[in-house]
Structure 1
Amino acid sequence: MRILLWHVHGSWTTAFVQGPHTYLVPVTPDRGPDGLGRAATFDWPESVVELPPEELRDTDVDLLVLQRPHEIGLAREWLGRRPGVDVPTVYLEHNAPGGPVPDTRHPAADRRDLTIVHVTHFNRLMWDCGTTPTAVIEHGIVDPGPLWTGRLERAAVVVNEPLRRGRTTGTDLLPYLSEAAPLDVFGMGTEGIAARLGLPEDRCRGRELVQSALHHALAERRVYLHPVRWTSLGLSLLEAMHLGMPVVALATTEACEAVPPGAGVLSNRPDVLHDAVRGFVAEPELARETGRAARTAALARYGLPRFLDDWDRLIKEVTR
């Protein structure tokens, strides 16, 4: 099977391309958003093939995976084929709706010629997809292994652009939560976060690391903190659980499904999150036991084999 998709979400795509197919990714000379090509910081197999736009018209494509609204027009232009009509198509929706929930219309709503695939049941519930067929394929994670040591009495947070995204990612909660334990905030746009939040550097540090280094850095921290108010289901939360980290998270969107009892602490009360972070930092054995439970739960629900099997079943349905 030859599957065409744009390189949009590096972590998700890393799991998707572990399947048995050939994955075609557009590449442009500037490697801009519509032509990133192969990942530079993720480990992708040789079955991921870069193709410039001018070669796509003459390329056999068995399935088109769209991820952004403008890719519908881009596919028509570059392929010379109509998504859903001339080539089987799914629209992969990574995000929870950003408009007036729950009335936000999906950009691919009321299209019987394609399928919208959501990454969480929460997202499918909240998006108004009209008459478009929908499915849910939950995330799968390439297992980084049980790397947690927790040797540093600090909490890890992973979020891109926390200052720009503000309340959406719970950035406003960080000053209070940093009183429970020093925070290391990993992700793009985290430089200077301590000064912007009015915190001493030793209480909140921002760092940007490539994926291979990020897992080891997270695993050194005692606990993983997920203060995000509104998002889909952060892959970093699932990766932390795979690492064997205890997790503390807001009980919003899909987090309640992802983190079962015993694998961490979920609450919409900042004081409960504060006390949970402090407790895990103070009690390394509790952190270890909780992290083991988190890893067991994550492997069972978000393991790579289940993810790839689910996608293969859907691919067969939409291409038959």
Structure 2
Amino acid sequence: MRILMWHVHGSWMTAFVQGRHEYLLPMDDERGPDGRGRAQTWDWPASARELTAGELAGERPDLVILQRPHEAQLLETWTGLRAGIDVPAVYLEHNAPTGTASASRHPYADQTAIPVVHVTHFNRMMWDTGTAPTDVIEHGICDPGHLYTGERPSLAVVVNEPVRRTRVAGTDVMLKLSRELPVDVYGMGMDQLADAAPWLDGRLHENFRQSELHRAMAAHRAYFHPYRWTSLGLALLEAMTLGMPVLALSTTEAPRAVPASAGLLSNDPAELQHRGRQWLDDPGLAADAGAAARAHALDRYGLERFLADWDALTERVVA
């Protein structure tokens, strides 16, 4: 199958393009939001092909996967094809509502031509999609291997733009914990965080390649996921797959993703601090929780299940 979609979420796409299809990725000279093409910090197979808007005009994909409301118009402008009419389409919803959940109307609500596919059950519950057909295909993770060593007695956090996304990302929670326990932060926008938290000097790490990030994360004793409001951060699942024990807030989809044997989910900062201290003091205890986290992540979020679920849905939509 030839699937057209925009490169929007790199970690999710890294798993998706491992399938057996051909993936057509819009690309422009600036590699901006509507033309990123192939990933620059992940390794993708040759079946993920970059095409300019001009090249796309001569293509007729079997399916288009939309991820943002304006992409249907881009599709029609660049190819002359109308999503759900001239070419089968689904709308993939990565995010939880940004407004009040009880009043958040999905942009594809109350239409029947284009199914809305959510990445978590939490997303589907929070969005009002009216009479639109919906489905849930939970995340899939490419197994990086059991890389955990836990040799560094500190907690790892992965977050992009932590200053801009303070409340959403739980940056304030992380900063409070970092005054009590050693914390290292990985992601983009570390310069702004350095200005806001000078005590983290030497513990901020900017924009690693995925393979480098995995090895760096796995050297830390545990992973801390402070997000208040998100769909389900893939960094949390990646940390579990690496074999890391995890701390997280008990919000959104996290309670489904993290069993008690794999770590602690709590909205009490004192409880999170206490468990983090336990792991820092007892590497064996941390390693046992990390092994349970990896086993659970491979079972629930394995790549084979993820790709099989998507194959079943796309075949149904195209048929």
Q: By the TM > 0.5 criterion, same fold?
A: yes
Q: 2:53 matched to 1:53? A: yes
Structure 2 counterpart of 1:257: 256
1:286 and 2:293 aligned: no
Aligned length: 319
Q: CA deviation at 1:111?
A: 1.6
- 1:200-238 deviation per Cα after TM superposition (whole angstroms, max 9, x unaligned): 526x53433121210000000001000110001000000
Deviation at 1:174, TM superposition (A): 2.1
Report if the CA contact (8 A) 2:163-2:192 is conserved.
no
1:234-260 deviations in whole A, cap 9, x for unaligned?
Answer: 000000000000000000000000001
Q: Does 1:15 align with 2:15?
A: yes
Question: Secondary structure in 2 aligned to 1:164?
Answer: coil
What CA distance in whole angstroms lies between the structure 2 residues aligned with 1:35 and 1:175? 35
Q: Is the 8 A contact 2:96 2:231 kept in 1?
A: yes
* Alpha-carbon distance in structure 1 between the residues aligned to 2:283 and 2:86: 57
Per the TM alignment, residue 179 of structure 1 is displaced from its structure 2 partner at its CA by 3.4
SS of aligned partner of 1:50: strand
Stretches of structure 1 that go unaligned for 5 or more consecutive residues are none
Matching of residues 56-71 of structure 1 within 5 Å: 56-71=56-71
| Aligned-pair Cα RMSD in Å | 1.2
Measure, in 1, the Cα distance between the counterparts of 2:300 and 2:223.
19
Question: Alpha-carbon deviation of 1:190?
Answer: 1.6
| TM-score in terms of structure 2 length | 0.97
- State the alpha-carbon separation in 2 of the partners of residues 214 and 175 from structure 1: 21
Distance in 1 (alpha carbons) for counterparts of 2:60 and 2:82: 14
Q: Per-residue CA shift, 1:178-200, capped at 9, x if unaligned? A: 13421111111022524413535
Residue 64 of structure 1 aligns to a residue in which SS? Answer: strand
Please list every run of 5 or more consecutive structure 2 residues that lacks an aligned counterpart in the other structure.
none
Is this contact kept in 2: 1:193–1:206, CA < 8 A?
no
The CA distance in 2 between the partners of 1:226 and 1:47, in whole Å, is 33
Give the stretch that moved more between structures: 116-125 or 56-65.
56-65
Matched AA of 1:298 = A
Deviates more, 1:281-290 or 1:184-193: 184-193
Deviations 1:38-58 (A, max 9, x none): 111111111111111112222
Deviates more, 1:211-220 or 1:186-195: 186-195
Equivalent position SS for 1:317: helix
Q: What one-letter code is carried by the residue in structure 2 that aligns with 1:305?
A: E
1 CA distance for matches of 2:116 and 2:200?
45
Do the aligned residues in 2 keep the contact of 1:191 with 1:206 (CA within 8 Å)? no
Structure 1 length-normalised TM: 0.97
SS at 2:156 equivalent: strand
Residue 165 (str. 1) matches residue 165 (str. 2): yes
Question: 1:87/1:280 Cα in 2 relative to 1: closer, same or farther (>3 Å)?
Answer: same
Report Cα offsets for 1:137-170 as digits up to 9, x if no partner: 0000000100000000010000100001111111
Counterpart for residue 244 of structure 2: 245
Q: How high is the sequence identity, in percent, across the aligned residues?
A: 57
